[in-house]
Chain A
Amino acid sequence: MNNLAEKKFILLNEDTIEIDLDSSSPYKLDFKSIKYKNLVVNLKKQSKISILNVVNDSNKNVTFNLEEGSSLEYNIASFEKENENSVKVNLNSNCSFIGAYADFSCGENSFNFVCNLNGRGSTASWHLATLTKNNDKKNFTISFFHHARNTYAKMENYGVCEDSSSLSFLGTSRIFNGAKESATHQVAKIMVFDKKCSAKASPTLCIDENDVQASHAAVVGQINEDHIFYLTSRGIDEKNAKKLITLGYLTPILSYFKDEETLNIIKTNIEERV
Chain B
Amino acid sequence: MRELVIKNLHVSVEDKEILKGVNLSIRPNETLALLGPNGHGKSTLLATIMGNPKYKVTEGSITLDGEDVLKMSVDERSKKGIFLGMQYPSEVPGVVNADFLKAAINARREQPIKLYEFYKKLEVASKKMNISMDMAQRFLNEGFSGGEKKRNEILQMLLLQPDLAMLDEIDSGLDVDALVCVSEAIKEMQSTTDMSFLVISHYARLYSLICPTRVAVMINGKIAVEGDKEIIDRIDKEGYEWIKYELGIEVAKEEKAMNQVSIGTCATKEAIKK
A residues contacting B by CB (< 8 A) are 161, 164, 166, 188, 190, 192, 195-204, 216, 218-221, 224-227, 229-238, 240-241, 244-245, 247-252
Question: How far apart are B43's CB and chain A's nearest CB, in angstroms?
Answer: 13
Which of B140-169 touch A at CB < 8 Å? 140, 156, 160
In the A-B complex, the 5 residue pairs with the closest CB atoms: A248-B94, A235-B107, A235-B78, A220-B269, A234-B104
Quick check: A236 and B75 within 8 Å, CB to CB? yes
Please, how many angstroms separate the alpha-carbon atoms of A25 and B181 in the complex?
50
Q: Does B242 contact A (CB under 8 A)?
A: no
Closest chain B residue, CB of each to CB of A216: B267
Per-position binary interface string of chain B over residues 10-45, scored 1 when its CB falls under 8 Å from any chain A CB and 0 otherwise: 000000000000000000000000000000000000
Q: List 24 A-B contacts (CB under 8 A).
A: A192-B271, A198-B270, A198-B273, A200-B271, A202-B267, A202-B268, A203-B268, A220-B271, A230-B90, A232-B73, A232-B74, A232-B75, A233-B75, A233-B77, A233-B78, A233-B83, A233-B84, A233-B86, A234-B103, A235-B78, A237-B107, A244-B95, A249-B94, A250-B94
Inter-chain contacts of A247 with B (CB < 8 A): 94-95
B residues contacting A by CB (< 8 A) are 50-54, 73-75, 77-79, 83-84, 86, 89-90, 92-96, 99-100, 103-104, 107-108, 139-140, 156, 160, 267-274
Inter-chain contacts of A225 with B (CB < 8 A): 53-54
Beyond A236-B103, A238-B75, whether A190 also contacts B92 by CB under 8 A is: no
Closest chain B residue, CB of each to CB of A250: B94
Quick check: B269 and A218 within 8 Å, CB to CB? yes
Q: Kindly identify which residue among A198, A218, A244, A250 contacts B268, using a CB–CB cutoff of 8 Å.
A: A218
Please, how many angstroms separate the alpha-carbon atoms of A251 and B268 in the complex?
25
Please, how many angstroms separate the alpha-carbon atoms of A236 and B140 in the complex?
14
Inter-chain contacts of B156 with A (CB < 8 A): 234
Inter-chain contacts of B267 with A (CB < 8 A): 202-204, 216, 218
